[in-house]
Amino acid sequence: YKVLHEKNVILSVVTAPQPVVPDSERVKLETVNELFMRVTLTFGYMEQPNIPRALAICRKQGWKFDIMTTSFFLSRRSLKASPNSGMPLWQDRLFIGLARTAADATEYFQIPTGRVVEIGT
């Protein structure tokens, strides 16, 4: 993966302050240049984000792609307790424990597992 792909998409997921976002307002497409496109998907705070379903809306807006030949590059965070965090150590440890039990991004956003590359520690 040390190459720049032919088509690159910077995908952002935003949680809206309303419970549900209609499909007509879910997707925002922005062409950065001939190699890069920025896609912003907006979900309401009561909705379960579904990236493949939201990206299908992009097809209706004229953007062609095949999700089964698409690679999703996700960051993986490593949390460590620190005396400089501003919180007591027990709160750091509690937060880290809760973060470890949270669903991973692939599952949470319903991305096909065979299409995901995780980067980080």
Q: Confirm whether 30 is domain-assigned.
A: yes
Residue 47 lies in a domain: yes
The answer to whether residue 28 sits within a structural domain is: yes
CA neighbours within 13 Å on the CB side: how many for 32? 11
Structural domain boundaries enclosing 62:
8-70
pTM of this structure: 0.80
Which amino acid makes up residue 27?
V
Q: Which two tokens stand for residue 112?
A: 């096909």
Q: How many domains does the chain have?
A: 1
Query: Is residue 86 one of the residues assigned to a domain?
Result: no
The pLDDT tens digits for 25-66 are: 999 999 999 989 999 999 999 999 999 999 999 888 888 888
Domain assignment present for residue 46? The answer is yes
Residue 2 Cα distances to 13, 34, 38, 44, 75, angstroms:
25, 19, 21, 35, 16
- Pairwise CA distance, residues 10 & 73, whole Å: 10
pLDDT tens sequence across 65-82: 888 888 888 887 788 888
